[in-house]
Amino acid sequence: MGDSVRIDKWLWAVRVYKTRSQATEACKKGHVSVGELPVKASRTVQIGEVVKVRKAPITKSLKVTGLAEKRMGAKLITDFVEDVTPAEELDILEMQKHMRWSVRDKGTGRPTKKDRRELDDFFDL
């Protein structure tokens, strides 16, 4: 392992993205930034930098604590990355998780007027 690694390889190696091409695509779309500036996939990352990755609905902040070019098991990731995402972002993620219960089953169609009234009564609207 050298003293720097391409950011797309590092994001793939620490399991932020499932494939390296997804990591490259995220860089192209401006979803990955270092120091508030969007970066290209070829940019090298060094130890101590904070990489921000926008994955809806939050922006994760990851501090580079080690460099890796090869993908590793999930248990080994803690040696290479530290999650420094602000608590506000994690609260958004937690809130979204609790709101998933209101998703209707596929194929049930739109709610009827009766369903809408029951939802309004439930939420006290």
Encoding tokens for residue 106? Answer: 């596929």
Where are the domains positioned within the chain?
Answer: 5-122
Q: Is pLDDT above 80 for 106?
A: no
Contact between 59 and 89 under an 8 Å Cβ cutoff? The reply is: yes
Find, among 43, 41, 61, the residue nearest to 51 by Cα: 61
Backbone angles phi, psi at 13, to 5 degrees: -65, -35
* pLDDT single digits (tens) 20-54: 999 999 999 999 999 889 999 999 999 999 999 99
Average pLDDT over residues 56-83: 92
Rounded CA separation 93/103 (Å): 16
* pLDDT single digits (tens) 74-86: 999 999 999 998 9
Q: How confident is the model at residue 94 (pLDDT cuts 50, 70, 90)?
A: confident
- Yes or no: domain 5-122 corresponds to CATH 3.40.50.150: no
Contact between 7 and 45 under an 8 Å Cβ cutoff? The reply is: yes
Residue listed under structure tokens 């998780």: 97
Contact between 27 and 44 under an 8 Å Cβ cutoff? The reply is: no
